[in-house]
Amino acid sequence: MAQALQPLRATLRRAPLHVVLLGLCALWLVPTVGLLISSFRPPRLVPVSGWWTALVPPYQFTLQNYRQVLDAYSMGRSFLNSLFITIPATIIPVIVAAYAAYAFAWMRFRGQEVLFTIVVGSLVIPLQMTLIPVLRLFTALGLAGTFPAVWLAHTGYGLPFAIYLLRNFLGALPRDLLESAAIDGAAPLTVFVRLILPLSVPAIASLVIFQFLWVWNDLLVALIYVGGAPQVAPMTVTVSHLVSSLGQNWQLLTAAAFISMVLPLAVFFSLQQFFVRGILAGAVKG
């Protein structure tokens, strides 16, 4: 009888924690749910009633806000621009950081620790201090206002954290495995491609999530290096223009915000199985 009641007692002991977590989730979700409902409400109802009234019959929902944002305000083009910016700006630093982390973790060369300290120390450099010098460099090279400029900028800004995260993860891999590969005559590039990359999938997936979300949601770097021209402006820049020009029609802002959230949510949920494992493994060196 006591053993049968033990799971119930354990559940009751954890009940206050579960209640607190559910309450925090509700507080977090209520504003988001309100914005989502407002994005589907007719414009004439938004200024005269609260979003919760839409949950009571008769239901009045419409796709007008989304159609207007996509058709009249170039949100579809901005979505493609964000893809053109985010995908290369995620792939390039991840590939470079993976090989650099492999070198820092398993290769020995002169000045290794000093160089790694400089790389990690660059994490504390404020991003804003680099904007003017880098922009002048890109202007002199003819890259200002183009996608390669923002690719290179995000690669440079993302590499210190990426190298730090992956280096700690790779340093925890079994040494015997890599030594066996070296004894068998495997070259460093072969070891990297055949062993390091497959074993590093959790950490790389975590890094991809971080880098993708940061680049996708970035406004400052894109605005400085790409600008606000419709043919190259990402979604963050376009939405910022909606804020200034459509301050009264804020239901259009909610529609634009949820359009920009679709892809990051898909990336996060598709890679979430690796997320916690990669972060924990990269945070503590075993």
Last residue of a domain, one of 62, 93, 119: 62
| 55, 77: one domain | no
Both 151 and 19 in one domain: the answer is no
Query: Both 167 and 272 in a single domain?
Result: yes
Regarding whether 204 and 99 lie in a shared domain, the answer is yes
What average pLDDT is seen over the chain?
A: 82
pLDDT digits (tens, 9 = 90+) for 193-252: 888 888 888 888 888 888 998 999 898 999 899 887 778 888 888 888 776 555 566 777
Q: Do 29 and 162 fall within a single domain?
A: no
Least confident interval from 53-57, 156-160, 206-210? 53-57
Cβ neighbours for 166, distance < 8 A, ≥ 6 positions apart: 97, 98, 100, 101, 102, 200, 203, 204, 207, 282
Position 271 scores a pLDDT of 73
Among residues 150, 146, 165, which one has the least CA distance to residue 98?
165
Whether residue 267 is contained in a domain is answered as: yes
Number of structural domains (the chain) is 2
Quote the percentage of the chain above a pLDDT of 70.
88
- C-alpha closest to that of 144 among 226, 210, 27, 245: 226
Q: Is residue 1 part of a domain?
A: no
137 and 189 co-located in one domain: yes
The pTM (predicted TM-score) of the whole model is 0.80
Q: Which domain holds residue 29?
A: 14-62
6 in a structural domain: no
* Band of pLDDT at residue 279, cut at 50, 70 and 90: low
Tell me: do 90 and 18 sit in the same domain. Answer: no
Whether residue 7 lies inside any domain: the answer is no
286 pLDDT band, cuts 50/70/90, is very low
What average pLDDT does this structure show over 93-111? 87
- Dihedral of alpha carbons 194, 199, 200, 205, sign: positive
CATH of the domain at 118: 1.10.3720.10
When mean pLDDT is compared over 10-14, 165-169, 174-178, 272-276, the highest value belongs to 165-169
Q: Report whether pLDDT(281) > 80.
A: no
The phi-psi region of residue 50 (left if phi > 0; otherwise alpha if psi is between -120 and 50; otherwise beta) is beta
- pLDDT at position 284, please? 46
Q: Are residues 274 and 133 in the same domain?
A: yes
Which of 107, 271, 110 shows the shortest CA–CA distance to 178? 107
The two structure tokens encoding residue 89: 């700006």
Shared-domain flag, residues 127 and 200: yes
- Reference 206, options 171, 162, 154; nearest CA is 162
Of 99, 285, 73, 85, whose CA–CA distance to 188 is shortest?
99
pLDDT, tens digit (0-9, with 9 covering 90-100), for 117-150: 888 888 888 888 889 999 999 999 988 888 999 9
- Give the Cα separation of 96 and 118 in Å (integer): 17
Last residue of a domain, one of 62, 97, 118: 62
Same domain? 44 vs 157:
no
Residues 116 and 243 in one domain: yes
> What pLDDT, in 10s, does the model give residues 13-48?
777 887 888 888 888 888 888 888 888 888 888 777
> For residues 103 and 108, what is the distance between their CA atoms, to the nearest angstrom?
8
- Please report whether residue 3 resides in a domain: no
4 occurs within a structural domain: no
Residue 2 lies in a domain: no
240 within domain boundaries: yes
